[in-house]
């Protein structure tokens, strides 16, 4: 049983180690501690170590970079110790002295690189598949040559959106699609858009930049702050213009736009943080109010659902399996096999790629055992990693929902 | 029967210092301590290496001694000292004339004392009450009294002295009026040691011990209670700029802060009770100095006694009695030759006290060797850098998983193994605690007590059938300090510890073993 909660209060991680009662539950929940002895576990790395760290002193011990930032420790903590936040600050202090590393620098700025990948798609795709190029990338940049790499989109989602006008509806939400949907996998974005519009919700697309989740996760606060100051202002305006919620496609973006922005970046949320939800939580709320009127056709799908760590951390629960299982023909089983290990850029770095694969072994084994047609997860990182580890195709759960809509064309 | 030149009774910092000094001068020494080194006032003090500023206004001699010794201890035992520096801050409502008297007193005693802008003080220590009106910068430092005592004892041992812990003196050997040694008791039974000179360095226990020898030593026992907070709020020693009073001193100690103290006259150094009114004063005055105290986690409270020497025992709280020390030659004073007492004094001046005592002993023994403790480091200075709490954090890197016995204070199996030979073959977790900080973190022994016990069992220190008693003794000793502050986070911690030890291990049952 995992305790779920919303975490939006202001934090002072330098002091919030006090309530830790050393129960060590976090260690049992930590995916990294289970696969390597090099990481001392969230209790030692978080509240225990923080107690010994002085103000303004650099943080030593490269083990801090082994924390994936999955937030599982924080989610299970009975004393509300913000362990993941403590580690984030420690990572930042470590990076200030020891640098971020080239791989981290490149991949945390994927939002700048990916549009170029999409523009020069044929060459970029070739480079990604070309083993020699990947070998060079590992040697030169420290990017794991076996790690999953996202494809580049034929048409960027933002390009499509320029010509798209959502029909007016009784309800209106702001949709934050995120850079991965934009440059790498617009299909998820199209599905979310379709589902919301089919539910009679007007979808407003506010101007947006990268949420900075990868930057924050690497302790790279300054760039992330600039981006999210822009995002918060833009989303605030969307709320002022009558949007009732901010629907975010990816749980990691949602987490970065809710609490993670708050304290590490020191940005005043102006009411935005509290309005951020994932798609299925929003749909669930509509249904609870008796306002979800979607008609489905018989859609035979045998799927497994993987709950992303950051979805858990959001605190709304995983609402996709329940809704999807109401569709005739759809069977969704919840994997419940822990973290997939990718953790954004973590699984892509040569330094931590093997660890990421070891963490994901549980998920891979369960998928191999169940042999579903497709694995569903809201998180694009999890999707990449699960396909990488198992060869089973993956989708955003919104894609299954969209395909099952009564007026959908038959799926390919 | 065993014979030696000098028996030192008491293993506080003074006794250890006397043993170190005499051993260095080539005198044969046996030190007997009833419990563990630094068990009494030494281990229950504030951990402040005084700059003397606290006595600058009303006890100039003590102030001068403090600053001189402060500089010497930093030099000879840098690994026991954290040179934090200190601030003296004035709050609204404090007597403004004290500030000037303090500066004048410091000048006269030769204590470096530099006025500081309030803004600069707040930048140095952001946790300070922002309403402070004036601030002074002082050369205070934090000192680890356990380590300082142990290092003196170790230095003495290297020079041939014998250090015996858990050896309680129960009587004196007499030849006529002359005191010619002691009888003591340890786990194995009673023993006698003959000595040319017996030195009483027993702090608050000096009075009953002297009485045992038929000698009257006037002493006022002044209890001081202190509270340990789980967080290091300030990196410097914070003094309240007012006439010394209750709870006007906050000292960073490793990862914690210690606020103290109170001053209440008590009849005996044993069975000290921390009263609620003391806690109220300590915490409310603490909040005045550092407002974050209100949200902090109280780890534990403890109390020690200042054994203040006074020929005529006075009423009152003892704050007006000199913090100076006295070497009493009972041969001259009380017609009990062979017995010397060292009374009064402070942790900061322990070395000077030891020097004067050793001078007196050498005079009685006709040994003509000069004291060299002021210029000889306790350890090879190159090998042991400054005491820094971050060294413990670095151990996280070097310690394999499962090797960290105390996770809160980051004490490894290796660190504990290294001190086991000093335990006289006894299994006592408190002795491990005093030498390693095991069990001194937030969980107060919750997770490390049974691990430490298992380690000692594996090393053959725990006798068959003794394990539950060893564990129970330590848990009770830890709880005695938690009990006064049993609220908030520490209460929740104890609920977990209770579940661990009483539900899982049946430690609350008589037939637990």
Residues B133 and B261 in one domain: yes
> Considering the domain boundaries, does residue B239 fall inside one?
yes
In a shared domain, residues B305 and B395: no
Instruction: For residue B7, give the 3-state DSSP assignment.
Output: strand
Put simply, the answer to whether A19 touches B404 (Cβ < 8 Å) is no
Distance CA B315, CA B171 (A): 30
DSSP per residue, B280-292 = HHHHHHHHHH-GG
- Residue B389 token pair: 């709490």
Of all helices (H) and strands (E), which one includes residue A129? helix A121-129
Per the domain annotation, does B481 fall within a domain?
Answer: yes
Mean pLDDT of the B490-495 span: 96
Whether A251 contacts A278, CB under 8 Å? yes
A98-102, B140-144, B291-295, B304-308: segment of lowest average pLDDT: A98-102
Buried b (16+ CB within 10 A) or exposed e, A349-386: bbebbebbbebbbbbbebbeeeebebbbbbbbbbbbbb
Partner-chain contact A21 B400, CB within 8 Å: no
Q: What does the alpha-carbon distance between residue B206 and residue B199 come to, in Å, rounded to a whole number?
A: 10
Q: Do B390 and A53 touch (CB under 8 A)?
A: yes
Nearest to B477 by CA among B421, B405, B422, B428: B428
In angstroms, rounded to a whole number, what is the distance separating the alpha carbons of residues A341 and A358?
7
Asked if B496 and A60 come within 8 Å (Cβ–Cβ), the reply is: no
Q: Residue A21's closest chain B neighbor by CA?
A: B493
Phi/psi at A174 (5° precision): -95, 135
- Angstrom distance (rounded) from CA A149 to CA B36: 62
Same domain, B125 and B233: yes
Mutation choice for B interface testing from A38, A51, A55, A77 by most B CBs within 10 A: A51
Give this complex's ipTM.
Answer: 0.91
How far apart are the C-alpha atoms of B354 and B157, rounded to whole Å?
16
* Per-residue pLDDT reduced to its tens digit, B391-430: 778 778 788 878 999 999 999 999 999 999 999 889 999 9
Q: How many CB atoms lie within 10 A of CB A54?
A: 16
Chosen domain end from A68, A98, A128: A98
**Minimal Cβ distance to A20: which of B400, B401, B442:** B442
Supply the pLDDT for residue A233.
Answer: 95
- The candidate with the shortest Cα–Cα distance to A378, out of A313, A272, A307, A321, is A307
Indicate if B301 and B396 belong to the same structural domain.
no
d(CA A52, CA B393): 7
Nearest to A203 by CA among A176, A185, A240, A182: A176
**Residues 234-273 in B contacting A (C-alpha not used; CB under 8 Å):** 235, 254-255
Interchain CB distance below 8 Å, A44 and B493: no
Q: Which residues of A touch B254 (CB under 8 A)?
A: 52
φ and ψ at B207, to 5 degrees?
-70, -55
pLDDT in tens, B165-212: 999 999 999 999 999 999 999 999 999 999 999 999 999 999 999 999
Instruction: Give the DSSP H or E segment for B485.
Output: none
- Alpha carbon A230 to its chain centroid, in Å, reads 20
Cβ of residue A326 closer than 8 Å to a chain B Cβ: no
| B127–chain A Cβ distance below 8 A for any pair | no
Binary contact (B393, A24; C-beta < 8 A): no
Nearest to A48 among B397, B401, B408 (CB): B408
Does position B388 have pLDDT exceeding 50, yes or no? yes
Q: Which of A98, A123, A151 is the last residue of a domain?
A: A98
Q: Which residues contact B193 (CB under 8 A, 6 or more apart)?
A: B1, B2, B3, B4, B7, B30, B32, B181, B182, B184
| Segments in chain A below pLDDT 70 | 1-14, 260-263, 410-412
Shared domain for B245 and B111, answered yes or no, is yes
Of residues B190, B272, B317, B254, the one with CA closest to residue B481: B272
The number of C-alpha atoms within 13 Å of A412 and in the hemisphere containing its C-beta is 1
Do B108 and B256 belong together in one domain? Answer: yes
Cα–Cα distance for residue pair A176/A190, rounded to 1 Å: 12
Residues in chain B with CB shorter than 8 Å from the CB of A61 are: 393-394, 396-397
Check whether residue B302 and residue B401 sit in a common domain: no
- Count CA within 13 A, CB hemisphere, residue A28: 8
State how beta strands B249-253 and B237-240 pair.
antiparallel
Domain of B128, in residue numbers: 80-141+220-309
Return d(Cα B75, Cα B378) in angstroms, integer.
9
- Kindly state whether residues B402 and B299 are assigned to the same domain: no
* Domain limit, last residue, from B262, B286, B309: B309
| Chain B residues lying within 8 Å of A65, measured CB to CB | none
Nearest to A271 by CA among A7, A11, A8: A8
Report the C-alpha gap between B419 and A121 in whole angstroms: 65
H-helix or E-strand containing B123?
helix B118-124
- Number of domains present in the structure of chain A: 2
Return all residues near B418 (Cβ < 8 A) that are at least 6 apart: none
Q: Are B245 and B129 found together in one domain? A: yes
| Tokens describing residue A212 | 């900075």
Provide the whole-model pTM. Answer: 0.91
Cis amide linkage into residue B157, ω under 30° from 0: no
Least Cα distance to A83 among A30, A9, A5, A10 occurs for A30
Q: Is the pLDDT of residue B54 over 90?
A: no
Average pLDDT, chain B: 92
B416 located within any domain: yes
Please state the domain count of chain B: 2
**Burial of residue B135, with CB atoms counted within 10 A of its CB: 0-12 exposed, 13-18 middle, 19 or more buried:** buried
Same-domain check for residues B124 and B267? yes
By DSSP bridging, strand A245-248 and strand A301-305 are: unpaired
Q: Could you tell me the CATH number of the domain that includes residue B243?
A: 3.30.9.10
Please report whether residue A11 resides in a domain. Answer: no
**Given a cut of 60, is residue B30 above it in pLDDT?**
yes
Range 50-69 of A in CB contact (< 8 A) with B? 51-55, 57, 60-61, 63
Contact B390 A52 (CB under 8 A): yes
Mutate to test the interface with B, among A18, A40, A67 (most CBs of B within 10 A): A18
Nearest chain B residue to A41, by CA? B401
**Same domain, yes or no: B305 and B396:** no
The C-alpha atoms of residue A378 and residue A395 are separated, in whole angstroms, by 8
Which residues in chain A have their CB less than 8 angstroms from residue B449's CB? none
Task: Look up residue A320 and give its two tokens.
Answer: 């996709």
How far apart are the CA of A3 and the nearest CA of chain B, in angstroms?
18
Q: Which residue from B389, B401, B446 is facing A22, i.e. has the nearest CB?
A: B446
Inform me whether the C-beta atom of residue B410 falls under 8 Å from chain A C-beta atoms: yes
Report CB contact under 8 Å: B496, A79: no
At a CB cut-off of 8 Å and minimum separation 6, what does B450 contact? B471, B505
Residue A411 in any domain: the answer is no
**Cβ contact A267:A236 at 8 Å:** no
Check if A127 contacts B (Cβ < 8 Å): no
Residue B315 in this model has a pLDDT that exceeds 60: no
What is the phi-psi region of residue B351: left when phi exceeds 0, alpha when psi lies from -120 to 50, beta otherwise? Answer: alpha
- Whichever domain contains A377, its CATH number is 3.40.50
Q: What angle do CA B332, B335, B336 make, to 5 degrees?
A: 100
Residues B335-348: tens digit of each pLDDT: 999 999 999 999 99
A137 found inside a domain: no
**DSSP state, B79?**
G
Distance from CA of A53 to the nearest CA of B (A): 7
Residue B471: inside a domain, yes or no? yes
Closest CA to A18 of A55, A48, A56, A45: A48
B478 touches chain A (CB under 8 A): no
Whether the per-residue pLDDT at B382 is higher than 60: the answer is no
- Domain of A378 in residue numbering reads as 301-404
Q: Which of B309, B343, B377 is the last residue of a domain?
A: B309
Could you tell me which of A293, A299, A326, A295 has the C-alpha nearest to residue A410?
Answer: A299
pLDDT tens per residue, range B230-257 = 999 999 999 999 998 999 999 999 899 9
* Distance, C-alpha B427 to centroid of its chain: 22
Residue of A nearest to B388 (CA): A52
Residue A14 touches chain B, beta carbons under 8 Å: no
Task: Say whether residue A23 is in contact with chain B using an 8 A CB cutoff.
Answer: yes
Residues of A in contact with B299 (CB under 8 A): none
Model pLDDT, residue A412: 47
Residues 6+ apart with CB under 8 A from A112: none
Nearest CA in chain A to B124: A55
Q: Is residue B10 part of a domain?
A: no
pLDDT of residue B310: 83
Q: Copy the structure tokens of residue A177.
A: 């699609």
Percentages (nearest 5) of helix, strand, coil residues in chain A: 50, 10, 40
Label residue A347 exposed, middle or buried (CB < 10 Å: 0-12, 13-18, 19+): buried
Shortest alpha-carbon distance between residue B495 and chain A (Å): 10
Tokens of B232: 């290091």
Q: How confident is the model at residue A411, as a pLDDT?
A: 53
pLDDT of amino acid A6: 36
Does residue A72 lie within any of the structural domains?
yes
Q: Which of B246, B276, B309 is at the close of a domain?
A: B309
For the record, the structure tokens of A253 come out as: 């973006």
Q: Compute, in degrees rounded to 10, the torsion defined by CA atoms B13, B15, B20, B23.
A: -170
A22–chain B Cβ distance below 8 A for any pair: yes
Contact (CB, 8 A) for A277 and A316? yes
Under 8 Å between Cβ of A335 and A306: yes
Is B407 within a domain?
Answer: yes
Cα-Cα-Cα-Cα dihedral sign, residues B38, B41, B42, B45: positive
pLDDT at position A1 is 35
Amino acid A4: pLDDT: 36
Helix (H) or strand (E) holding B163: strand B162-164
By the 10 Å C-beta count (0-12 exposed, 13-18 middle, 19+ buried), B443 is classed as buried
pLDDT at B49 over 90: yes
- How many CB atoms neighbour CB B267 within 10 A? 7
Provide the β-strand partners of residue A173.
A203, A245
- Domain boundary at A72, A98, A124, which? A98
Minimal Cα–Cα distance from B209 to chain A, Å? 42
């Amino acid at each position: 049983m995992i305790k779920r909660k919303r975490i939006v209060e202001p934090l002072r991680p330098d002091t919030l180690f006090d309530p830790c009662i050393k129960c060590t539950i976090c260690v049992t929940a930590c995916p990294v501690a289970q696969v390597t002895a090099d990481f001392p576990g969230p209790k030692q790395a978080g509240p225990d170590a923080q107690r010994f760290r002085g103000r303004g002193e650099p943080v030593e011990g490269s083990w801090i970079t082994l924390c994936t930032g999955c937030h599982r420790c924080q989610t299970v903590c009975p004393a509300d110790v913000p362990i993941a936040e403590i580690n984030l600050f420690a990572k930042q202090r470590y990076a200030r002295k020891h640098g971020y590393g080239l791989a981290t620098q490149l991949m945390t700025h994927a939002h700048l690189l990916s549009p170029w990948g999409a523009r020069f798609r044929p060459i970029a795709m070739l480079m990604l598949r070309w083993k020699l190029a990947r070998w060079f990338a590992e040697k030169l940049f420290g990017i794991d040559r076996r790690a999953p790499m996202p494809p580049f989109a034929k048409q960027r989602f933002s390009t499509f959106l320029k010509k798209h006008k959502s029909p007016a509806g009784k309800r209106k939400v702001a949709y934050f699609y995120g850079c991965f949907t934009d440059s790498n996998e617009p299909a998820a974005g199209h599905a979310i858009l379709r589902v919301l519009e089919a539910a009679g919700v007007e979808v407003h697309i506010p101007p947006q930049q990268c949420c900075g989740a990868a930057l924050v996760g690497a302790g790279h606060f300054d760039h992330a702050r600039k981006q999210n100051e822009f995002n918060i202002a833009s989303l605030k305006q969307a709320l002022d213009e009558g949007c009732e919620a901010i629907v975010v496609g990816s749980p990691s973006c949602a987490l970065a736009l809710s609490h993670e922005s708050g304290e590490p970046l020191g940005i005043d949320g102006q009411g935005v943080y509290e309005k951020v939800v994932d798609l299925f939580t929003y749909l669930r709320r509509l249904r609870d109010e008796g306002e979800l009127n979607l008609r489905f056709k018989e859609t035979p799908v045998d799927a497994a659902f993987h709950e992303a760590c950051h979805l858990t951390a959001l605190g709304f629960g995983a609402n996709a399996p329940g809704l999807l299982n109401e569709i005739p023909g759809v069977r969704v089983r919840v994997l419940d096999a822990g973290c997939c290990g990718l953790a954004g850029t973590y699984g892509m770095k040569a330094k931590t790629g093997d660890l990421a694969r070891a963490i994901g072994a549980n998920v891979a084994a369960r998928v191999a055992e169940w042999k579903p047609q497709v694995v569903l997860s809201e998180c694009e990182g999890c999707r990449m990693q699960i396909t990488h580890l198992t060869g089973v195709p993956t989708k955003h759960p919104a894609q299954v929902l969209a395909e099952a809509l009564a007026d959908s064309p038959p799926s390919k | 029967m065993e014979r030696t030149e000098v028996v030192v009774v008491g293993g506080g910092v003074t006794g250890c210092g006397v043993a170190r000094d005499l051993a260095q001068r080539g005198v044969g020494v046996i030190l007997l301590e009833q419990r563990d080194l630094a068990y009494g006032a030494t281990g229950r003090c504030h951990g402040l290496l005084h700059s003397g500023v606290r006595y600058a206004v009303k006890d100039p001699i003590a102030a001068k001694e403090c600053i001189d010794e402060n500089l010497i201890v930093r030099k000879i035992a840098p690994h026991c000292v954290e040179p934090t520096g200190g601030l003296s801050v004035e709050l609204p409502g404090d007597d403004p004339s004290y500030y000037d008297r303090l500066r004048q007193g410091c000048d006269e005693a030769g204590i470096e004392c530099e006025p500081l802008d309030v803004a600069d003080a707040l930048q140095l220590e952001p946790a300070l009450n922002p309403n402070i009106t004036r601030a002074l910068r002082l050369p205070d430092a934090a000192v680890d009294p356990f380590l300082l005592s142990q290092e003196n004892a170790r230095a003495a041992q290297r020079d041939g002295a014998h250090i015996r812990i858990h050896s309680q003196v129960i009587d004196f050997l007499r030849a006529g009026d002359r005191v010619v040694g002691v009888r003591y008791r340890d786990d194995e039974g009673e023993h006698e040691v003959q000595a040319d000179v017996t030195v009483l360095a027993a702090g608050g226990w000096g009075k009953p011990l002297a009485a045992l020898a038929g000698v009257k030593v006037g002493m006022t026992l002044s209890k001081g209670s202190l509270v340990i907070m789980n967080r290091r709020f300030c990196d410097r020693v914070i003094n309240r700029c007012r006439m010394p009073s209750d709870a006007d001193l906050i000292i960073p100690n490793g990862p914690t802060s210690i606020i103290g103290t109170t001053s209440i006259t008590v009849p005996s150094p044993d069975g000290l009770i921390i009263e609620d009114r003391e806690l109220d004063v300590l915490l409310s005055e603490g909040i005045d100095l550092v407002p974050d105290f209100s949200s902090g986690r109280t780890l534990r409270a403890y109390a020690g006694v200042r054994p203040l020497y006074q020929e005529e025992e006075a009423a009152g709280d003892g704050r007006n009695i000199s913090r100076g020390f006295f070497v009493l030659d009972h041969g001259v004073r009380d017609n009990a030759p062979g017995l010397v007492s060292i009374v009064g004094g402070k942790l900061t001046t322990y070395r000077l006290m030891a020097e004067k005592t050793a001078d007196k002993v050498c005079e009685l023994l006709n040994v003509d060797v000069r004291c060299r403790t002021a210029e000889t480091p306790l350890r090879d200075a190159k090998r042991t850098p400054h005491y820094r709490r971050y060294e413990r954090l670095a151990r996280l890197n070097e310690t394999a998983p499962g090797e960290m016995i105390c996770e809160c204070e980051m004490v490894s199996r290796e660190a504990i193994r290294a001190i086991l030979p000093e335990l006289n073959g006894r299994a006592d977790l408190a002795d491990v605690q005093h030498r390693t900080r095991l069990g001194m973190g937030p969980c107060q022994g919750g997770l490390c007590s049974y691990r430490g016990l298992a380690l000692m069992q594996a090393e053959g220190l725990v006798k068959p059938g003794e394990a539950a008693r060893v564990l129970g003794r330590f848990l009770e000793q830890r709880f005695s300090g938690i009990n006064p502050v049993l609220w908030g986070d520490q209460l929740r911690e104890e609920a977990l510890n209770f579940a661990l030890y009483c539900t899982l291990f049946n430690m609350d049952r008589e037939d637990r073993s």
